[in-house]
């Protein structure tokens, strides 16, 4: 026998086919059952389950019809194949109306009529010779000979396939999930058709008979498998239970057979003990699997709910930012007017108020109005930063000059608070940035040092150049410390600006530090300082006025300049040091290249609400 014939006879061997059919019947029934179990009341699941069963029966009967030992029943089995095909046609007609979603179009009475027709046609094919008159037995199996209504059978089957084409339209109208399901269904259908076409148009004409026709049938298992996957994908946990049950059933069945086939009473007894143990173990296993699956399903549900809640919160957050932006914008005009007129009223040259009490009260009102104006501008700045609408106009700047100017502006306030400001090394430091914004940062830091120093002392400012890795490592440590804290505190490192602004550039960085001998900051407060609205809840700070936004804004401004900012303190009454990094002037080109990747139109951008905080406002 040559090699080809060995292969061919293997494929047509009845026992080989029996194994394949048995596998298809087991897998198919399991999937049909799983689909049905998943949602017993759903018309979709019911129809798909019947669809699978009809395919399984059709494959099974066709195989039995080919059996040599059952040759007398061959006609009956082949008629049963046709009977099954009428049920499969019933499902094919319904399918576009119920899968992936039940459209509700095919109402119960219509379905019953269709089912009745299918039952009658199936009955006719099984019990009469109208569709199949006889069978011819070949060495490879049986072939049908049509009866009087053979043509009708062909027409009915062809027509029942037509509704499938409506899926082209259904697909277009479907949502994401349904489309995903449909793709799997189409894939299964395509593989099935490819199988059938290869057998009927290629193999059969080549061999000259239909000995391989069954392989066309077998490819229906693709349709069954992919459709099940489409439906059960989200419920694979249940499949695990069913699989476990199946395995348990097989193991228990085998041991039961062993008990029954025992040769001596002792053997039977031992095997029975073994069976009881296995049964008990199976019971425990099943329970634990069920419990675990229930738990995981709950977990999944919870995480889905959490994801939804999170999306909702983000939406709310965006709405809130928009509201704050609108509200502060609207507030700024009247507040500025109040502040301006009050300052005029208090100016002796412009208005005359005689009563010293009135002047005192007015003075208080004026300082409150200034604080209010500060708060409103801060909020406006925060919303501009968070919405990415802050106008940043960078140029080459003389950092030493900028710091000196700032010191001049705040000197008077520092002296009032008995603080001396020393710029240790004003050696012509240069950077590339927006002078207004950097000034705001320096004013904030020096201002805080003045505000949070109770005793006479010195505020020293220092600039130095360090390798970029140094800053990166330092920042890693700061981040790690904050990441180990509660979620709420992690706000302190959540960047409010685009990554392209945030990234460190160049090989070296400038480090600007502002050190004071003031009230200091408790260790546990350090990581929280840069959060929005955060103020150290301590009696020492409670008396000084502030919004808790200064450091948050400073951080965002520094980040907009590819920098990092952090605070250090040895604890209460040991003073504090605030340090931030900025790129060196040589990194200008690299920096510009990186920022060019952020799409921004100048029209939507706005400058800081009030560029530089006046010394008296601190
Ligand atoms: P504000 O000063 O308006 O309260 P900031 O964001 O500027 O807001 O500062 C946040 C908090 O950080 C302050 O309330 C204060 O408790 C603390 N803080 C900032 N700078 C210093 C400093 N130099 N010394 C001690 N504490 C400080």
What is the torsion angle, in degrees rounded to the nearest 10, for the CA atoms of residue 100, residue 103, residue 109 and residue 113?
A: -50
The answer to whether 419 and 411 have CB atoms below 8 angstroms apart is: no
Mean pLDDT to the nearest integer, 5-24: 73
Which pLDDT does position 120 carry in this prediction?
A: 96
Residue whose Cα lies nearest atom 8 of ligand 1: it is 548
Ligand 1 atom closest to the Cα of residue 548 is 8
CA of 589 to the centre of ligand 1 (A): 35
What is the torsion angle, in degrees rounded to the nearest 10, for the CA atoms of residue 547, residue 551, residue 554 and residue 555?
A: -130
CA of 447 to the centre of ligand 1 (A): 9
| Helix locations, 66-163, DSSP H | 74-98, 108-127, 150-161
Residue 357 pLDDT level (bands cut at 50, 70, 90):
very high
Whole-number Å distance between alpha carbons of 49 and 88: 11
Q: Any idea which residue has 């027409």 for tokens?
A: 155
Burial 258-270 (b: 16+ CB within 10 A, else e): ebeeeeeeeeeee
Under 8 Å CB-to-CB from 517, ≥6 apart: which residues?
A: 453, 455, 457, 458, 459, 575
Q: Give Cα 274 distance to the centre of its chain.
A: 49
The answer to whether 493 and 528 have CB atoms below 8 angstroms apart is: no
CA of 322 to the centre of ligand 1 (A): 26
E strand or H helix at 35, and its extent?
Answer: helix 14-38
CA of 448 to the centre of ligand 1 (A): 6
**Ligand 1 pocket check: which of 443, 451, 518, 551 to mutate, most ligand atoms within 8 Å of Cβ?**
551
Residue 49 pLDDT level (bands cut at 50, 70, 90):
very high
CA of 575 to the centre of ligand 1 (A): 12
Task: Please tell me which residue, 575 or 532, carries the higher pLDDT value.
Answer: 575
Ligand 1 atom closest to the Cα of residue 519 is 25
Which pLDDT does position 2 carry in this prediction?
A: 42
Whole-number Å distance between alpha carbons of 564 and 581: 5
Whole-number Å distance between alpha carbons of 510 and 81: 84
Inter-CA distances, 609 with 374, 384, 437, 616, Å: 10, 9, 11, 17
Whole-number Å distance between alpha carbons of 529 and 521: 9
Burial 381-395 (b: 16+ CB within 10 A, else e): bbbbbbbeebebebe
Reported as a single tens digit per residue, the pLDDT across 461-516 is: 999 999 999 999 999 999 998 888 887 788 888 887 888 888 899 999 999 999 99
The answer to whether 52 and 32 have CB atoms below 8 angstroms apart is: yes
Residue whose Cα lies nearest atom 13 of ligand 1: it is 535
CA of 535 to the centre of ligand 1 (A): 6
Structure tokens at 231: 């439906």
Inter-CA distances, 98 with 93, 94, 228, 588, 607, Å: 10, 6, 15, 63, 58
352: phi then psi, degrees, rounded to nearest 5: -115, 115
392: phi then psi, degrees, rounded to nearest 5: -115, 120
Q: Give 202's DSSP letter.
A: I
Whole-number Å distance between alpha carbons of 347 and 327: 30
Whole-number Å distance between alpha carbons of 597 and 439: 26
Whole-number Å distance between alpha carbons of 127 and 79: 8
Ligand 1 atom closest to the Cα of residue 530 is 6
* Least-confidence region, from 150-159, 252-261, 533-542, 565-574: 533-542
Ligand 1 pocket: which residues have CB below 6 Å? 444, 448-449, 452, 516, 518-519, 521, 529, 534-536, 541, 546-552, 576
The answer to whether 424 and 461 have CB atoms below 8 angstroms apart is: yes
Ligand 1 atom closest to the Cα of residue 549 is 6
Which pLDDT does position 38 carry in this prediction?
A: 81
Which pLDDT does position 4 carry in this prediction?
A: 45
The answer to whether 325 and 380 have CB atoms below 8 angstroms apart is: yes
Mean pLDDT to the nearest integer, 5-18: 68
Whole-number Å distance between alpha carbons of 610 and 614: 10
Structure tokens at 199: 């057998």
- For residue 460, the SS3 value is strand
* Least-confidence region, from 83-87, 94-98, 373-377: 373-377
Percent share of the chain, pLDDT over 70: 94
Which pLDDT does position 459 carry in this prediction?
A: 96
Ligand 1 atom closest to the Cα of residue 516 is 23
Ligand 1 atom closest to the Cα of residue 553 is 6
The answer to whether 535 and 541 have CB atoms below 8 angstroms apart is: yes
Reported as a single tens digit per residue, the pLDDT across 304-349 is: 899 999 999 999 988 888 888 888 889 988 998 998 899 898 888 8
E strand or H helix at 466, and its extent?
Answer: strand 457-467
Task: Please tell me which residue, 579 or 264, carries the higher pLDDT value.
Answer: 579
């Amino acid at each position: 026998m040559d090699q080809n014939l060995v292969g061919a006879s293997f494929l047509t061997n009845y026992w080989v086919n029996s194994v394949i059919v048995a596998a298809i019947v087991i897998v198919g029934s399991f999937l049909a059952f799983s689909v049905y179990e998943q949602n017993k009341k759903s018309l979709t699941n019911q129809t798909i389950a019947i669809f699978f069963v009809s395919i399984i029966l059709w494959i099974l009967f066709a195989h039995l019809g080919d059996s040599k030992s059952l040759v007398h029943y061959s006609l009956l089995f082949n008629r049963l194949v046709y009977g099954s095909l009428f049920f499969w046609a019933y499902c094919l007609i319904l399918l576009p109306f119920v899968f992936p979603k039940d459209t509700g179009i095919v109402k119960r009475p219509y379905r019953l009529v269709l089912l009745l027709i299918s039952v009658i046609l199936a009955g006719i094919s099984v019990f009469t010779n109208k569709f199949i008159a006889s069978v011819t037995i070949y060495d490879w199996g049986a072939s049908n000979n049509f009866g009087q209504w053979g043509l009708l059978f062909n027409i009915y089957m062809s027509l029942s396939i037509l509704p499938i084409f409506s899926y082209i339209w259904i697909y277009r109208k479907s949502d994401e999930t349904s489309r995903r399901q449909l793709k799997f269904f189409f894939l299964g259908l395509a593989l099935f058709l490819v199988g059938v076409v290869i057998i009927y148009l290629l193999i059969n004409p080549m061999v000259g008979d239909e000995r391989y026709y069954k392989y066309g049938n077998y490819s229906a298992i693709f349709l069954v498998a992919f459709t099940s996957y489409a439906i059960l994908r989200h419920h694979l946990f249940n499949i695990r239970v069913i699989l476990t049950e199946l395995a348990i059933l097989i193991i228990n069945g085998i041991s039961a057979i062993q008990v029954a086939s025992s040769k001596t009473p002792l053997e039977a007894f031992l095997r029975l003990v073994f069976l009881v143990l296995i049964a008990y173990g199976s019971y425990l296993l099943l329970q634990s699997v069920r419990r675990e699956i229930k738990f995981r399903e709950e977990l999944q549900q919870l995480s889905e709910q959490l994801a939804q809640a999170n999306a909702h919160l983000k939406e709310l957050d965006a709405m809130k930012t928009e509201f704050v932006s609108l509200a502060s914008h609207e507030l700024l005009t009247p507040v500025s007017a109040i502040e301006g007129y009050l300052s005029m009223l208090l100016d002796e040259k412009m208005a005359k108020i005689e009563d010293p009490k009135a002047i005192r009260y007015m003075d208080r009102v004026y300082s409150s109005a200034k604080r209010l104006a500060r708060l409103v501008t801060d909020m406006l700045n925060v919303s501009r930063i968070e919405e990415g609408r802050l106008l940043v106009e960078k140029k080459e700047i003389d950092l030493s000059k900028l710091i000196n100017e700032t010191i001049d502006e705040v000197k008077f306030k520092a002296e009032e608070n008995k603080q001396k400001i020393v710029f240790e090394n004003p050696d012509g430091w240069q950077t590339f940035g927006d002078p207004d914004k950097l000034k705001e940062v320096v004013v904030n830091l020096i201002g805080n040092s003045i505000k949070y120093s109770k005793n006479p002392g010195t505020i020293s400012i220092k600039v130095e150049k360090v390798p970029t890795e140094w800053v990166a490592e330092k920042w890693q440590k700061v981040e790690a410390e904050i990441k180990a804290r509660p979620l709420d505190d992690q706000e302190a490192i959540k960047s409010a600006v685009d990554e392209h602004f945030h990234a460190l550039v160049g090989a070296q960085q400038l480090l600007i530090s502002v050190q004071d001998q003031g009230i200091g900051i408790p260790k546990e407060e350090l990581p929280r300082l840069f959060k929005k609205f955060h103020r150290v809840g301590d009696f020492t700070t409670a008396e000084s006025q502030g919004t808790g936004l200064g450091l948050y804004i400073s951080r965002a401004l520094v980040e907009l300049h590819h920098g990092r900012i952090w605070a250090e303190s040895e604890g209460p009454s040991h003073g504090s040091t605030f340090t931030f990094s900025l790129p060196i002037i040589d990194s200008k080109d690299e920096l510009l290249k990186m920022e060019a990747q952020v799409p921004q139109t100048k029209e939507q951008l706005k400058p800081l609400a009030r560029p530089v905080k006046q010394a008296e406002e601190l």
